[in-house]
């Protein structure tokens, strides 16, 4: 290490959806006893139904012993005006509890409502326009949340097999050899803790939440939509996953694998993976984690956003996943080794002016609309960069136009 130069290692970054565009949010205060959060100021939008899930991926009962999913299904079934035309199902990322998830969903969906309600491609869809049923899944992703027995077994295996000293050496580069052995041991141990206890198990938990609660809820809603009276409009289904929530969204459409290892796909109208903490080669054939998407399950458009200023994914994700040989997250480099189409977003709209096409997977270069915001605080800016700054009107406008493709 050069004289006078000091390195400060920060062990954990919070990948929360909270604190995004809080100054523009007009939503009711969250309450642990009120899993329904109101949006204000946009006709036909809201409320947000916050369904809480336990460590095993199962829905938690409300204090009165009921399941909020039953209320959601009943709302979709209702023929009273305004009749639901679309379901928006969202999944937050790492290090959120129920309160921060509710706050994050409020900010995100408020920004969505203010933009989507003005889009002609959605407003003028006959016969009743665009009336969404808003659902957010609050799953336990806090760093200090105790592991399940299954997660503990996987954790012990990873501790025994992963080369954390090697990962630390790649992170620090040539300076690594100048560290004392005690320092090197301490840093490697920190990488161990961050990766194994602080992140890797939440990847598995995210997938479990998707395969169980997400998949089951989506199936119930789709069956209910199919059984509605013929005079009601068909229902569109749109899934949003932010950060580690992209694993939840992808596992929701993939479902549990059958005896032969084949996924049980559930088809949706659009799939949005915003700054996804998922490997960039996840769609690659034949060995990608989510091989088969989007063609197997998305009728409309799949969008993957990426931003050069997302420090949470450029640094902390690499530490957590041990990805030091070129494999970065979708939210940094976009889709790799799978067919996709590029589009560049700007505050003035996507470049090229071309129309989005059904069935395609789009790499959206979004660095101009998912930007770092130093006003959120130096620590958050330094650790997360633009990771949670995902409510810009330009981004929401593009996602709204994408949601309209399958309608």
**pLDDT exceeds cutoff 70 at 153:** no
Of the two residues 231 and 340, the one the predictor is more confident about is 340
R_g (Cα) of the chain, nearest Å: 21
Contact 15, 277 (CB under 8 A): yes
Contact 110, 25 (CB under 8 A): yes
Range of lowest pLDDT (7-16, 126-135, 207-216, 310-319): 7-16
Confidence of residue 143 (pLDDT cuts 50, 70, 90): confident
Q: Determine the pLDDT at residue 329.
A: 92
Measured CA to CA, the distance from residue 113 to residue 162 in angstroms comes to 44
Measured CA to CA, the distance from residue 361 to residue 341 in angstroms comes to 6
- In DSSP notation, 290-311 reads TTTTTTTTEEEEEEEEE-TT-H
Q: Determine the pLDDT at residue 277.
A: 94
Of the two residues 148 and 264, the one the predictor is more confident about is 264
**pLDDT exceeds cutoff 80 at 57:** yes
**pTM for the full model?**
0.83
Q: Determine the pLDDT at residue 5.
A: 38
Range of lowest pLDDT (198-207, 210-219, 240-249, 370-379): 370-379
Contact 49, 35 (CB under 8 A): yes
**pLDDT exceeds cutoff 80 at 376:** no
Q: Determine the pLDDT at residue 75.
A: 95
Strands, E assignment, 163-260: 236-242
Measured CA to CA, the distance from residue 388 to residue 312 in angstroms comes to 9
Measured CA to CA, the distance from residue 339 to residue 202 in angstroms comes to 28
What share of the chain has pLDDT > 70, as a percent? 72
**pLDDT exceeds cutoff 80 at 325:** no
Measured CA to CA, the distance from residue 155 to residue 263 in angstroms comes to 26
Of the two residues 140 and 173, the one the predictor is more confident about is 140
Q: State how far the alpha carbon of 322 is from the alpha carbons of 18, 188, 200, 317, in Å.
A: 26, 11, 10, 8
Q: Any residues with CB less than 8 A from the CB of 246 and at least 6 apart, and which?
A: 91, 93, 273, 274, 276, 277, 278, 330
Q: Determine the pLDDT at residue 37.
A: 87
Report the pLDDT averaged over residues 230-248. 93
Q: For 146, list phi and psi in degrees, rounded to 5.
A: -65, 145
Q: Any residues with CB less than 8 A from the CB of 202 and at least 6 apart, and which?
A: 94, 141, 244
Strand partners, 136: 50, 90
Q: Determine the pLDDT at residue 167.
A: 59
Q: Determine the pLDDT at residue 21.
A: 35
**pLDDT exceeds cutoff 80 at 171:** no
Q: Determine the pLDDT at residue 173.
A: 64
Strand partners, 363: 304, 342
**pLDDT exceeds cutoff 80 at 190:** no
For the stretch 76-129, pLDDT in tens is: 999 888 899 999 999 999 888 889 999 999 999 999 999 999 998 887 666 678
Q: Determine the pLDDT at residue 33.
A: 44
Q: Determine the pLDDT at residue 125.
A: 62
* Eight-class DSSP state of 127: T
Highest mean pLDDT, choosing among 22-36, 145-159, 238-252, 287-301 = 238-252
Q: Determine the pLDDT at residue 26.
A: 37
Highest mean pLDDT, choosing among 123-137, 221-235, 272-286 = 272-286
Q: Determine the pLDDT at residue 123.
A: 76
Confidence of residue 196 (pLDDT cuts 50, 70, 90): low
Q: Any residues with CB less than 8 A from the CB of 338 and at least 6 apart, and which?
A: 281, 283, 284, 285, 288, 361
Q: Which of 85, 84, 76 lies closest to 227 in space, CA to CA?
A: 76
**pLDDT exceeds cutoff 50 at 322:** yes
Q: Determine the pLDDT at residue 25.
A: 35
**Spans of all domains in the chain:** 22-403
For the stretch 15-41, pLDDT in tens is: 444 434 333 333 333 344 448 888 876
Report the pLDDT averaged over residues 338-361. 86
On average, the pLDDT of the chain sits at 81
Q: Determine the pLDDT at residue 273.
A: 98
**pLDDT exceeds cutoff 80 at 261:** no
Q: Determine the pLDDT at residue 142.
A: 85
Strand partners, 237: 87
């Amino acid at each position: 290490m050069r004289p006078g130069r000091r390195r400060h290692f920060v062990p954990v970054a919070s990948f929360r959806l909270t604190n995004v565009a809080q100054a523009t949010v007009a939503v009711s205060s969250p309450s642990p006893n009120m899993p329904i959060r109101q949006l204000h100021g946009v006709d036909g939008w809201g409320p947000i139904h916050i369904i809480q899930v336990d460590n095993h991926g199962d829905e938690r009962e409300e204090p009165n012993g009921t399941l909020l999913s039953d209320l959601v299904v009943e709302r979709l079934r209702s023929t009273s005006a305004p009749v639901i035309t679309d379901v928006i199902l969202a999944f937050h990322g790492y290090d959120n509890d129920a309160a921060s998830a509710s706050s994050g969903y409020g900010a995100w969906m408020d920004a969505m409502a203010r933009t989507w309600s003005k889009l002609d491609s959605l407003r003028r869809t006959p016969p009743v326009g665009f009336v969404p049923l808003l659902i957010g899944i609050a799953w336990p992703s806090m760093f200090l949340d105790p592991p399940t027995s299954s997660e503990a077994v996987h954790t012990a295996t990873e501790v025994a097999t992963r080369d954390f000293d090697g990962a630390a050496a790649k992170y620090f580069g040539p300076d690594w050899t100048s560290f004392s052995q005690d320092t090197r041991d301490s840093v490697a141990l920190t990488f161990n803790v961050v990766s194994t206890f602080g992140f890797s198990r939440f990847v598995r938990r995210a997938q479990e939440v998707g395969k169980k609660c997400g998949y089951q809820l989506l199936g119930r809603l789709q069956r209910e939509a199919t059984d509605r009276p013929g005079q009601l409009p068909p229902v569109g289904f749109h899934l949003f996953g932010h950060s580690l929530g992209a694993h939840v969204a992808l596992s929701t459409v993939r479902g549990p694998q059958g005896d032969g290892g084949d996924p049980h796909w559930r088809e949706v109208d659009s799939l949005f993976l915003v700054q996804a903490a998922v490997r960039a080669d996840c769609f690659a054939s034949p060995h990608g984690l989510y091989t088969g998407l989007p063609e197997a399950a998305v009728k409309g458009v799949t969008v993957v956003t990426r931003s050069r200023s997302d420090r949470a994914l450029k640094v902390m994700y690499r530490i957590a996943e041990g990805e030091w040989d070129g494999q970065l997250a979708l939210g940094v480099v976009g889709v790799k080794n799978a067919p996709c189409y590029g589009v560049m977003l700007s505050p003035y709209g996507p470049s090229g002016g071309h129309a989005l096409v059904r069935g395609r997977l789009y790499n959206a270069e979004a660095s101009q609309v998912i930007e770092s915001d130093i006003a959120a605080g130096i620590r958050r800016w330094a650790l997360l960069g633009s990771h949670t700054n995902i409510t810009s009107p330009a981004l929401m406008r593009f996602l709204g136009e994408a949601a309209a493709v399958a309608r």
